[in-house]
Amino acid sequence: MTRETGPSHRGWTIARRLVVCVAALAAGVVAVVVNWPGGLGTTSAVRVESGPSASLYRWAAEAVAGGPDGFAGVLDTASAGALVLLGLLFAAGWWTARGRGAYAVATGILGGVGAVLGYAGSEALKLVVDEERPCRVLAAGLDLAAHCPPTGDWAFPSNHAAIAGGLAAGLVLLSPRLGAVAVPLAGLVAALRVLAGVHYPHDVLAGLFLGATVTTTVVLLCAPVAAGATNAFRRDARDSP
C-alpha cells in the first residue's frame, strides 16, 4: 500500500488550491512589475545606470574585481554548478517519490514541466524588455565577468534564476524537507549570477519569482488530474485479462 504525501486531495481542497494559485500568481506579477526596468514599446535597448539595483551591482562588481584574477570566472562556473546541483536534488526527490503514490509522481513530473515553462516565460520577457547586461553598462574597466554575453543576449529576467526558482518551488511541493535545502540553493544560484557580473539584482529577483510562480500554479492546478489519470490507468491495467 502506498502513502500519498504533499498537497493531496484530502489536505488541499479545490478552494485552497485556487487561493494558493491566485496568491502565487499575484506574487509573481508584483515581483516582475516591481523589478521591471522598462523597455515595453521602445525600439532601443534598456540601459539601467542608476537606482538601488545598479548601486548594489556596482558594489558587488567592485568587490569581485578587487579579488584574485579570474575570480568572476570561478563565480560564473559556481552558479552553473549550483544550478546543476539543484537539478540533481530535484531528480532525487522525484525518484524517491515514486513509492509514495500517483500524486507524488505527478507532482515531480509537473514540477519539472513548470520549471521548463518558467524558463520559456523568462525567454519571452527578455525579447520584450531588451535590457542590456550590466557587464556592458556598468562594469566597463572592471575585469569582472568571465564572459559578458554579446548584445542581443538580454538580461531581464535571469533564465538561471527562473529555472532555479521553478525547481525549488517544485521541491517544496514534492518534499518540504528537500525544499528547505532547495530554496537557499536557488538563492545562491541567483546571487552568484550577480556576483559573476552578468545580471542586476532585479534580474534575478524577477527570475526567481517567475519560475516559482509558474511551477506552483502548474503543480497545484494539474497534479490532481494527472494523479487521477495515472490511478485510472493502473486500475485498467490491473483489471484487464
Instruction: Give the best-scoring range by mean pLDDT among 14-28, 78-92, 127-141, 216-230.
Output: 78-92
Mean pLDDT in residue range 29-39: 86
User: What pLDDT band is residue 116 in, cutting at 50, 70 and 90?
Assistant: very high
Whether pLDDT at 195 is above 80: yes
Percent of the chain with pLDDT over 90: 37
Give the mean model confidence (pLDDT) for residues 7-33. 78
Q: CA dihedral defined by 225, 229, 232, 234, rounded to 10 degrees? A: -130
pLDDT score of 74: 85
CATH T-level topology, domain 50-239 = Vanadium-containing Chloroperoxidase; domain 1 (1.20.144)
Higher-confidence position of 20 and 211: 211
What pTM was computed for the model? 0.85
pLDDT in tens, 122-156: 999 998 898 999 988 886 666 565 678 888 889 99
Any idea where the domains of the chain sit in the sequence?
50-239
Residue 146: its pLDDT value, please?
A: 60
What would the DSSP string read from start to end of 171-185? HHHH-HHHHHHHHHH
On the question of pLDDT at 170 being above 90, the answer is yes
